[in-house]
Amino acid sequence: MTGCQSLVLEGSSAGAGIAGAAVAQKVTDNAAVTTGIGVGVQAATRSAVQYVQREMHGYTQEVIATAAGKLKEGEVAKWQSVHSIPMEPDEQGRVTVSRLISQGMLECKEIVYSIDSMEESVPRNEYYVASICKDNARWVWATAEPAVSRWGALQ
């Protein structure tokens, strides 16, 4: 999965850089200007792809937090995220509340969730731990994930 995301990111930005340089070459004979335009278009495309991926990850986190917010400690629920842009596959899994973390007005839960998939007709489950907190009437993701391999290089 991480390889596919990397391919989309690198392929899109490289293609945009080449296309930008080709268009710039039609406008100017200056190699430095052409290179600068190509690099600029490549950087803009990379940022756009990363933005879309962050939004998709945020949506998945929201779906999981909403499902877990309704649960009591030890209960299990299913969750599913369906992406409107087919940049990443739709995901599904299960979530449970492993413990309550509350102090005064701060209401939080530690959750364990799975990503359930099939690979060559064999079920595959990946498990992760996160925290969610109640923000007024809704539950929101409260875990920073810079070390989680799930998101690959996109942190």
Report yes or no on 83 lying in a domain. yes
Digits of tens for pLDDT over the chain (155 positions)? 444 444 444 454 455 545 554 555 566 667 676 667 667 777 777 777 777 777 777 888 999 999 999 999 999 999 998 877 777 778 899 999 999 998 888 899 999 999 998 777 788 889 999 999 999 889 999 887 654 555 555 54
Report yes or no on 155 lying in a domain. no
Residue 107: predicted pLDDT = 92
Report yes or no on 139 lying in a domain. yes
Instruction: Identify the sign of the CA torsion 70, 77, 91, 127.
Output: positive
Report yes or no on 16 lying in a domain. yes
Residue with tokens 């599904």: 92
Report yes or no on 53 lying in a domain. yes
Reported pTM: 0.65
Report yes or no on 153 lying in a domain. no
Residue 126: predicted pLDDT = 92
Domain range for 34? 2-148
CA distances from 121 to 117, 118, 124 (A): 9, 6, 9
Report yes or no on 15 lying in a domain. yes
Instruction: Identify the sign of the CA torsion 116, 141, 68, 147.
Output: positive
Phi, psi for 130 (deg, rounded to 5)? -150, 175
Instruction: Report the domain count for the chain.
Output: 1
